[in-house]
């Protein structure tokens, strides 16, 4: 039947994911093309589903924040606040686009690590975000006191 055929195809695809690397049986991550065409099915062992759903929620939170920043940048660009408002609007838009790219990369990186049973804290990303926020605060103070805004 159709259901049996689909289950057999899923089993075959799952067995293809297993690869032998240097005598070590590891799960290799499928290509983006494979994921888009066929989907990606994981065995739900232990906390697999919970971990992947948490990864998705985190990704979606970052995307929501990036979209909010894009909205803020559009508001700044629409606002007739002079050259400073335009410059800040463009900077916020670039930060939002960088956030989208970085969060997408982090999502897929986390997915690969979850599949391998690894966990790597995002220390570099946290340090980068802190530095960006500190630079933004410093820039705001400099503009405020320099131009008497």
Residue 111, SS3 per DSSP? helix
CA distance 5 to 110: 31
Q: What's the pLDDT band for 6 if we cut at 50, 70, 90? A: low
Q: Between residues 29 and 48, which one has the greater pLDDT?
A: 48
Check residue 140 and give its pLDDT: 79
pLDDT per residue as tens digits for the range 40-84: 677 777 888 899 999 999 999 999 999 999 999 999 899 887 877
Q: What is the DSSP string of 52-108?
A: HHHHHHHHHHHHHHHHHHHHHHHHHHHS---HHHHHHHHHHHHHHHHHHHHHHHHHH
CA distance 74 to 78: 6
- % of the chain residues with pLDDT over 70: 74
pLDDT per residue as tens digits for the range 81-138: 787 788 888 989 999 999 999 999 999 999 989 988 888 888 888 898 899 889 888 9
Check residue 149 and give its pLDDT: 52
Measuring CA to CA, which residue among 106, 105, 93, 86 is closest to residue 66? 93
């Amino acid at each position: 039947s159709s259901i049996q055929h689909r289950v057999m195809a899923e089993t075959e695809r799952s067995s293809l994911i297993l690869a032998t690397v240097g005598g070590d049986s590891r799960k290799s991550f499928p290509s983006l093309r494979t994921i888009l065409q066929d989907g990606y099915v994981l065995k739900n062992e232990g906390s697999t589903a919970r971990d992947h759903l948490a990864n998705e929620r985190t990704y979606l939170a970052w995307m929501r924040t990036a979209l909010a920043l894009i909205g803020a940048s559009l508001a700044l660009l629409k606002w007739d606040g002079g050259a400073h408002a335009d410059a800040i609007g463009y900077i916020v838009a670039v930060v939002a686009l960088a956030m989208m790219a970085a969060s997408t990369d982090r999502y897929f990186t986390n997915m690969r690590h979850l599949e391998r049973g690894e966990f790597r804290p995002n220390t570099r990303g946290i340090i980068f975000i802190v530095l960006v926020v500190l630079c933004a605060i410093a820039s705001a103070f400099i503009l405020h006191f320099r131009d008497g805004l």
